[in-house]
Amino acid sequence: MTDSPRIVLIHALEESVTPSRTAFREYWPEALVFDLLDKSLAVDLAAAGHLDAAMTRRFVTLADYAATGSGAGGMPAGILFTCSAFGPAIEAVKNRLAIPGFRPNEAAFRAALAQGDRIGLLVSFGPSAAALSREL
C-alpha cells in the first residue's frame, strides 16, 4: 500500500458526499478519496419501503466496480458505504470483497454500546430507521 491509500465512498444520498469528504480531510487527509453516487437507490428504497434483491444487486455491482478501479494510490484499500439504510445489502457485499468494506455506522454503534445499553437513535433518512434499529 502507498502512503496515500485509495478509498472509495459509495453514496446513495447526495447529501452524504460533502460531510464524508470533510471527515476524511479532517481525520485521514492522506487518503485519496473517490466517490460513487447512485441517488436512485435512496429514491427506490423510499418508494418500495424495504430493501429488495434488485437493490442489493446494485450494491454488489457498485462495489465490484469500486474494488477493481486502480490509479492514483493503486488499487482501492477499502470501501466505505455512506448510507446506513442499506445495511443488509452492505453486509452481502462485504462478504464478497477482497478488501475491507464498512457500513457508516459501525464505529459509532460500537462506541455507543461501550457507553451503556440505553441508546437513542435519530435518523435523517426515514427508511434507515428500521434497519438501524435491527442492527443496533
User: pTM to 2 decimals?
Assistant: 0.85
Q: Checking DSSP bridges between strand 101-102 and strand 32-37, what pairing results, if any?
A: unpaired
Q: Give the domains, in start order, of the chain with CATH numbers.
A: 6-135 (3.40.50.1860)
76-81 β-sheet, strand order: 32-37, 6-11, 76-81, 101-102
Provide the pLDDT for residue 5. Answer: 95
Predicted pLDDT at 2: 53
Regions of the chain with pLDDT less than 70: 1-2
Position of cell 441517488? 39
